[in-house]
Amino acid sequence: MQDRRTAPEILACASPGSARRLLATVLAIAICGCVSANTSRDLAGAPPVVAAARDPSLAAPPGAGADRGVSGVWRGTSLSACVGNPSDPGRCAAMQKITLTMFQRGDEVTGFYACAYGNQVCRHLNETGVIRQGSVNRTRLMMRVMHEDGSMCFFTGRPAGDRLEGGYECLQGGGIIEQGTFQTRRTY
């Protein structure tokens, strides 16, 4: 049976979070480009996650997380710290559920950031962001997450197989507005 609803009708039934995830997925496909399964030439320049999805022979074997670098979907939590004089003391120990969708090509890392309610709402209601100026240098990942409100967060971590842990620092208007730690696991 074919679903004959239009895109707006489908989105009207979806929760706000699922609509945002759908939009992030569509944007990821648009940015990475369409991949044709018909020619290996098309897969040569595709991010590993996209190429593996189209051609199973390109997928990394189980347990080969390090072989894929940091490409993939990482889910976990972030926890804000209460050090020094935080700009918003009400956010001390604020925990959020985060998702990092990353694409690694060489040492460069790009992708998307998503935040969901943990024990508090996301800082300034920033539920999405774009990963810019990401890089992997030996065993250290550094990246900048740009938010729609003009703030940015620097994430630094050490990937180990399918685990990624580290710290973050968010800035807005030239000042630090939040610091903390994060822990994630690769889910795809």
What is the model's pLDDT at position 43?
Answer: 38
User: Hey, what are 121's tokens?
Assistant: 């709402």
Mean pLDDT is highest, among 9-13, 36-40, 71-75, 137-141, for 71-75
What is the model's pLDDT at position 85?
Answer: 63
Q: Residues 77, 138: one domain?
A: yes
Q: Residues 21, 47: one domain?
A: yes
Q: Residues 88, 171: one domain?
A: yes
- pLDDT tens for residues 85-124? 666 778 889 999 999 999 999 999 999 999 999 999 998 8
Residue 29 lies in a domain: yes
Q: Residues 41, 123: one domain?
A: no
Tally Cβ neighbours within 10 Å of residue 118.
Answer: 15
Radius of gyration of the chain (CA): 18
Residue 6 lies in a domain: no
- pLDDT tens for residues 111-169? 999 999 999 999 889 999 999 999 998 889 999 999 999 999 999 999 999 999 999 99
Domain count across the chain: 2
What is the model's pLDDT at position 16?
Answer: 52
pTM: 0.63
pLDDT above 60: residue 19: no
What is the model's pLDDT at position 92?
Answer: 86
User: Hey, what are 16's tokens?
Assistant: 């706000």
C-alpha distances out from residue 54 to 21, 37, 43, 46, 187, Å: 20, 6, 8, 10, 18
What is the model's pLDDT at position 22?
Answer: 44
The residue segments making up the domain with residue 154 are 66-186
Residue 20 lies in a domain: yes
Of 102, 96, 130, nearest in space to 116 by CA: 96
The confidence band for 177, taking pLDDT boundaries of 50, 70 and 90, is: confident
- pLDDT tens for residues 24-59? 444 444 344 433 333 333 334 444 444 444 444 434
In CATH, what number is assigned to the domain containing residue 176?
Answer: 2.40.128.30
Q: Residues 43, 78: one domain?
A: no
Q: Residues 155, 174: one domain?
A: yes
Residue 104 lies in a domain: yes
Q: Residues 125, 33: one domain?
A: no
Q: How far apart are CA 101 and CA 70, in angstroms?
A: 9
Q: Residues 34, 122: one domain?
A: no
